[in-house]
Copies of this chain bind each other. A is one copy, B any other.
Amino acid sequence: MSQESSTYKLPQPLPLDSGRALDNAQIAYQTYGQLAADKSNAILICHALTGDQYVASEHPITGKPGWWERMVGPGKPIDTDRFYVICANVIGSCMGSSGPASPDPKSAPDAAPYAMGFPVITVRDMVRGLVALLDGLGIAQLHSVVGGSMGGMQALSLAANWPERAARVLVIASTARHSAQNIAFHEVGRQAIMADPAWADGDYYATGSSPDNGLAVARMAAHITYLSEEGLTAKFGRRLQDRPDGSEGAKSFGFDADFQVESYLRYQGSGFTQRFDANSYLYITRAMDYFDLAEEHGGKLADAFAGATARFCLVSFDTDWLYPTAESRHIVHALNAAGAKVSFVELSAPNGHDSFLLEHDELDRVVRGFVE
């Protein structure tokens, strides 16, 4: 499969919902496959909170496979033999697109990072950046926009605010607004980062240190919300860790990771800090918490989709307690009220919110069928 890594420098400042604008903005993106001469075969995949543009290729830091390789590639449900797949790092993130770690043009020639001087962005701002990229690529209308979790929020925001830019909108395990509980979990993560003295009010880039402890705690708390109680029980239950000497696990009557689930969470937390910027975590969680598509459109979600001509497909998972099926159903009702074409399926899966990233034949069939 042909693929390319590129960075698009926006020709204009990017206007933001806050009233500010992002100067010298850039968007790092990957493409897979060939763009048709009539540019009709482009699929934009939007990534989740801690995702990035490496949807179907090795991550340059971790060396791990792309985060959705099982879904995107030659012959895969999103078939790169047919489609030109674009996946861009959202602004605010840290894998090449403009974010808190990027040089603040105002600081030139120092090229000091924005840090907390980066403007607070919204999901719509992220999408505004993606639309600028599509403009740069000369793609007037996407064959499809596809996203799970925060990627689904972006797909919805694109459909609501730039309805002519996508013919198909596929939203998986997502929501049209962040609930009080969603906000609460994010706030715990932000407080964990900000409580870390290494955070230093966000000005840690030149210190040789970074708030890894706080970021790891934030990731651990969030990670629990990505999994289901049933999935955690099936995977770990109350099983104890084997000892370093290979002997069978026993309670240590200490504070080491006795239980496998403790060890797993610690690993998730510390691994994450290798590849993610703590300030980006603050900015992106804030954008998600601000997300309320109805509020953006006068308080009525159906009005967000007035005049939509795209076909929509919503997918939820029965064990997802982060963005439960009711949230998808709420979107479906709004789309129905707006007279949009929409299909909806709740899939059964044991692993909660994370199910959209995991092996799931039925999800594969739904995705393949919808982007046909």
Contacts and interface: CB of A to CB of B under 8 A. Distances in A.
Interface string A256-295: 0101011001100100000000000010001001101001
Contacts of A204: none
A191 B282 contact: no
Interface string A8-19: 000000000110
Given A181-B229, A224-B184, A253-B120, A259 B195 contact: no
B177 A265 contact: no
B269 A236 contact: no
Given A188-B220, A188-B221, A217-B195, A119 B253 contact: yes
- Chain A interface size, under 10 / 10 to 19 / 20 to 34 / 35 or more: 35 or more
Contacts of A282: 255
A254 interface: yes
A100 to B, nearest CB: 12
Most central of A177, A183, A257, A265 by chain B CB within 10 Å:
A183
Among A179, A213, A238, chain B packs the most CB atoms within 10 A around the CB of A238
Contact of A224 (B188, B213, B265): B188
A367 B227 CA distance: 36
Contact of A255 (B195, B259, B286): B286
B183 A238 contact: yes
Contacts of A232: 179-181, 184
Contacts of A229: 179-181, 321
A251 B290 contact: yes
A253 B195 CA distance: 20
Interface in A189-248: 190-192, 194-197, 213-214, 216-217, 220-221, 224, 227, 229, 232-233, 235-238
A178 interface: yes
Given A217-B217, A236-B180, A259-B289, A191 B251 contact: no
A187 interface: yes
Nearest to A264: B184
Nearest to A233: B180
Given A181-B232, A217-B192, A286-B255, A261 B119 contact: no
A257 B233 CA distance: 34
A370 interface: no
A191 B220 contact: yes
B216 A195 contact: yes
A197 to B, nearest CB: 6
A185 interface: yes
B238 A191 contact: no
Contact of A197 (B18, B197, B290): B197
Interface of A: 17-18, 20, 116, 119-120, 177-181, 183-185, 187-188, 190-192, 194-197, 213-214, 216-217, 220-221, 224, 227, 229, 232-233, 235-238, 251, 253-255, 257, 259, 261-262, 265-266, 269, 282, 286, 289-290, 292, 295, 321
12 contacts: A18-B253, A20-B253, A180-B261, A181-B233, A184-B232, A187-B259, A187-B261, A191-B216, A191-B266, A192-B192, A192-B217, A221-B221
